[in-house]
A and B are shown apart, each in its own frame.
Chain A
Amino acid sequence: MTEAPQKATVLVADDDADIRVLVGIAVRKSGLELVGAAADGNEAWQLVSALKPDLVVTDVSMPGLSGLELCQRIRADGELSGTRVVLLSAAVDEGAHLAGLDAGAIDYLIKPFSPRELAERLVELTQPTTARP
């Protein structure tokens, strides 16, 4: 046990650089630690495998692996059981939402999102009460 609880680590994946920066700002505002940013699905998978972050905030439609595939791959990997996924998507229909939850994401945000709300959500998601056993 450490004295002070360690900051939760977050990795962001989005093919749009401005969105990556925006998510990064929200992460910092929420007091979490941004450990990496990926511009496509494959890069994201390499970083997730290497860094094993607590949270991955990923876009759904990206070159290479899609956000959904990334999420499924993380869920299928026993070593990444501590990594949780939040999906960001520009799709608005219910089907996309459900597909995201089916793939194992813990939350699904629709673009455009409010950085303030994202920060609040990230804080909630990393609270000990919502942490996995």
Chain B
Amino acid sequence: MTIAAVVNRLADPNPSPLLKQSPTTVLFGVAIVMVAFNPVSVTSLGAVVAGTIAAILATVLAGVLTAIPTVAKFVLLVPAIDLIAIGFLRYGTGESLSIFSSLVILPIIWFAAEEGREHIWFAFIGTAIVLIIPAVAGQSDSSALSLMLRAAFAAVVFTIAAAVINELSRQARLRLSSVRRLAEERQRALESNEARTNQLAASEASLRQAQRMFRGVWGAVTQQAVIGTDLTGLIDAWNPGAALMLRIDAAEVEDKRHVDEFHLADELEDRARELRYPAGATVLNPGFSALVEEARLGSAEVREWTYRRADGTELPVELSVTPRLDDADETVGYLFVAHDRTKAHEVAKLKDDFVGLISHELRTPLSSILGYLELMRDDDDEQLTETQLQYLGVAERNAHRLLTLVGDLLFTAQVESGKFNLETHVQSMSPIVSAAVDSARPAAVRAGVNLIDEIVDGGMVRGDSVRLGQACDNLISNAIKFTPAGGTVTVTLGGEATHVVVSVSDTGMGIAESELDQLFSRFFRASTATRNAVPGVGLGLTITKAIVTAHGGEMSVASEEGAGTNFSMKLPIEQPVWV
């Protein structure tokens, strides 16, 4: 049981009306018994009977009011009726000589204990009615004055007693209510304290959990170096991955060394120049500002850097730099997560070496094949027959096809590894497109395809003529390959406001719409190509797109299966034709 509940119970300010009435009822009953044993004391039997009836009535009313609390506001009727009952009893048992006059104190206490000063007046009026009025009304003149004085004196004494009781009970009530308020406040404080304690325990548990999680992750990351620094680059966090990668323990670097000490000064300098020497560099860490500039400006940066270990060895890393924020979202430091790129670099080099080797090893025998075939064709001493020349042609054509394939593979590898350089000049596209159309004519004739060109000099472009020629060759030879005999391939060159457009249309087998978006992927072959056994490996369009993209241009395709295809390449214009 709480303290507040105990106080409340002890201090219940509302005893039931029946309880309050019980002393009056009991003592009235005792008085009636005494009257019955001593009938000579009765001066008016009628008054005693009336008083008895009134007392019973008051007791019944108290019972009713106890049973029905909603009518409790009439509770003061009970002591009022009591006063009347006692008045009758006193009158009927000798008036001022009655031994029961003192009974009147009980209802007066009841009145006096009620909250509010007005109840003192109720008590006074009640006393006056009971003691003074019968004295005045019922006696002879000589004795009336002395009776009245006696009654009035008693009334005043009772009233003062009532006032004292009223004041005492008021003070008791005040003390009680303040004690109760204090107890309630204490209870509330206790409850909120308890709630706060519970909350604290819960958040402490989740903090511990988060800490465990963090320590687990921090320790588990061994393949990435995670380094934390303050705003000046001074290292304050160094995970096991960093210790493994840079071969130095956390204890030797935390709060001792700056993160830029593990970078190559040249790389930092180059980057700083690239960023136009961002502010914040100091004598202590000249390169640090270059390292964190983009993170400082709010974006997470990922780029390749070289780490230098304490023993002088170096390793390439992919480093992401992010700002560390405090509660107010202010940057208070940086996080560096590095991923070792040594393996990736080795693989890339291996691939480059392999492609180079393959290219070399395939081109050398092709050199002999093509060279000796040419010698055979050019031999002036022994003229070849028509049939032999025809066979020679087939061998040469296929050797060239192989050579193109090797070139395409090499080129694709170069594009992929980003080692694809353009030798650009400002030039017109029209000689390039014309040459491509001319070189495709023999193939068009062989295939029975009508090759039409509509060339209008659309303007100058900045481009690599060899690569652009290769792109045109690819589109035109593709169009011829995919067009059945009797069909038409149209090559147009024209200019728009900002672009030169080369477009190659055919009346061929077309490409399914679902395959259009894969068309430029490496080694992708359209279903119409495989179904119709059109030769190829699926590199031509990849290469064409790579060339066009490298020139800042765009490739587009439109096709309808069974009706034909149109490929367009748009190259940014360097100089309009009319300039």
Interface code A98-126, partner B: CB below 8 Å = 1, 0 otherwise?
Answer: 00000000000001111110000000000
Cα separation A112 to B374 with both chains bound (whole Å): 11
Tell me which residues from 378 to 404 in chain B have a Cβ below 8 Å from any Cβ of chain A: 378, 403
Q: Is A92 an interface residue (CB 8 A)?
A: yes
Given A90-B359, A93-B414, A94-B423, residue A116 in contact with residue B374 (CB < 8 A): yes
- Contact yes or no, B372 A22, CB < 8 A: yes
Closest A residue to B400 by beta carbon equals A112
Known A-B contacts A92-B407, A93-B414, A94-B423; A113 and B360 likewise in contact (beta carbons under 8 Å):
no
Does more than half of chain B's interface fall in helix, strand or loop, or is it mixed?
helix
- Is the C-beta of A61 less than 8 angstroms from some C-beta in chain B? yes
5 A-B pairs besides A112-B366, A112-B371, A113-B371 with CB distance below 8 A are: A92-B359, A92-B407, A93-B421, A114-B370, A115-B371
Contact A19 B421 (CB under 8 A): no
Contact residues in B for A22 (Cβ distance below 8 Å): 367-368, 371-372, 375
How far apart sit A113 and B364, CA to CA, in the bound complex (Å)?
Answer: 10
A-B contact pairs, 16 of them (CB 8 A): A18-B368, A18-B372, A19-B364, A22-B368, A25-B375, A90-B359, A90-B360, A91-B360, A92-B410, A94-B423, A111-B364, A112-B369, A113-B371, A114-B370, A114-B374, A115-B371
Q: Is the CB of A90 within 8 A of B363?
A: yes
The count of chain A contact residues (Cβ–Cβ below 8 Å) is: 18
In the bound complex, residues from chain A placing their C-beta under 8 Å from that of B360 are 61, 90-91
Give the chain B neighbours of A61 by CB distance below 8 A.
Answer: 360
Give which listed residue, A93, A94, A95, A114, contacts B371 with CB less than 8 A.
A114
The main secondary structure of chain A at its interface with chain B is: loop
Partner of A94, one of B363, B366, B407, B421: B421
CB-nearest residue of chain B to A114 = B374
Q: How far is the CB of A4 from chain B (nearest CB, A)?
A: 24
CB distance from B140 to the nearest CB of A (A): 150
* Residue B535 is within 8 A (CB to CB) of chain A in the complex: no
Among B364, B366, B370, find the residue whose CB has the most chain A CB atoms closer than 10 A.
Answer: B364
Which B residue sits closest to A15, measured CB to CB?
Answer: B364
Are B375 and A16 interface neighbours, CB within 8 A?
no
The 6 closest A-B pairs by CB, nearest first: A112-B367, A90-B363, A111-B367, A18-B368, A90-B360, A22-B371
Interface residues of A in 28-68 (CB under 8 A from B): 61
Contact A115 B375 (CB under 8 A): yes
**Interface residue count on the B side (C-beta < 8 Å):** 22
Residue of A nearest to B420 (CB): A93
Q: Check if B356 is an interface residue, CB within 8 A of chain A.
A: yes
| Pair B356/A91 contact, Cβ less than 8 Å | yes
**Which of A90, A112, A113 is most buried by chain B, counting CB atoms within 10 A of its CB?**
A112
Interface pair A16/B378, CB less than 8 Å apart: no
* A25 partner residues in chain B, CB cutoff 8 A: 375
> Which residues of B from 406 to 456 have beta carbons under 8 Å from A?
407, 410, 414, 419, 421, 423
Beta-carbon nearest neighbor of B422 in chain A: A94
In this complex, the member of B371, B372, B375, B407 whose beta carbon has the largest number of chain A beta carbons within 10 angstroms is B371
Closest residue of chain B to A96 (Cβ to Cβ) is B356
Q: Write the chain A residue with the least CB distance to B361.
A: A90
Give chain B nearest CB distance to A60 CB in angstroms. Answer: 9
Which of chain B's residues have a CB closer than 8 A to the CB of A111?
363-364, 366-367
Q: How many angstroms from the CA of A116 to the CA of B375 in the assembled complex?
A: 8
Q: Are B368 and A16 neighbours in the complex by a CB distance under 8 Å?
A: yes
Q: What is the CA–CA distance of A90 and B366 in the complex, to the nearest angstrom? A: 10
Which residues in B have their C-beta under 8 angstroms from that of A91? 356, 359-360
Contact of A113 among B367, B378, B410 (CB under 8 A): B367
> How many whole Å from B452's CB to the nearest CB in chain A?
32
Kindly list chain B residues whose C-beta atoms are within 8 Å of the C-beta of A94.
421, 423
* Interface contact A112-B403, CB-CB below 8 Å: yes
Per-position binary interface string of chain B over residues 253-277, scored 1 when its CB falls under 8 Å from any chain A CB and 0 otherwise: 0000000000000000000000000
Please indicate the chain A residues that have their CB under 8 angstroms from the CB of B359 in the complex: 90-92
Are B375 and A90 in contact, CB atoms less than 8 angstroms apart?
no
- Cα distance A93–B419 when bound, in Å? 9
How many angstroms between the C-alpha atoms of A111 and B372 in the bound complex?
13
**How far, in angstroms, from A18 to B368 measured CA to CA in the complex?**
6
Q: What's the minimum C-beta distance from B295 to chain A, rounded to whole angstroms?
A: 35
> Closest residue of chain B to A88, judged by CB?
B367
In the complex formed, the residue of A with least CB distance to B375 is: A115
Provide the bound-state CA to CA distance between A94 and B372, in Å: 27
Q: CB-CB < 8 A to B414: which residues of A? A: 93
Task: Give the distance to chain B from A40, nearest Cβ to Cβ, in Å.
Answer: 15
Chain A residues closer than 8 Å to B370, beta-carbon distance: 112, 114
A19 to B414 Cα, complex, angstroms? 27
- Chain B residues whose C-beta falls within 8 Å of the C-beta of A115 in the assembled complex: 371, 374-375, 378
B378 touches A116 (CB 8 A): yes
Contacts of B364 in A (CB 8 A): 16, 19, 90, 111
B421 proximity list for chain A (CB < 8 A)? 93-95
Of all chain A residues, which has the CB nearest B370? A112
Bound-complex Cα distance A115 to B414 (A) = 29
The residue of chain B having its C-beta at the shortest distance from the C-beta of A115 within the complex is B371
Using CB atoms, name the residue of chain A closest to B411. A92
Q: Which residues of B contact A113 (CB under 8 A)?
A: 367, 371
**Distance in angstroms between the alpha carbons of A90 and B414 in the assembled complex:** 15
**Out of A95, A112, A116, which one reaches B363, CB within 8 Å?**
A112
User: Which B residues lie within 8 Å of A92 (CB)?
Assistant: 359, 407, 410
How long is the Cα–Cα vector from A18 to B419 in the complex, in angstroms? 32
Q: Which B residues lie within 8 Å of A95 (CB)?
A: 421
The 8 A CB mask of B91-135 against A (1 = contact, 0 = none) is 000000000000000000000000000000000000000000000
- Chain A residues near B369 (CB, 8 Å)? 112
Give A91 to B355 CA distance when docked, in angstroms: 11
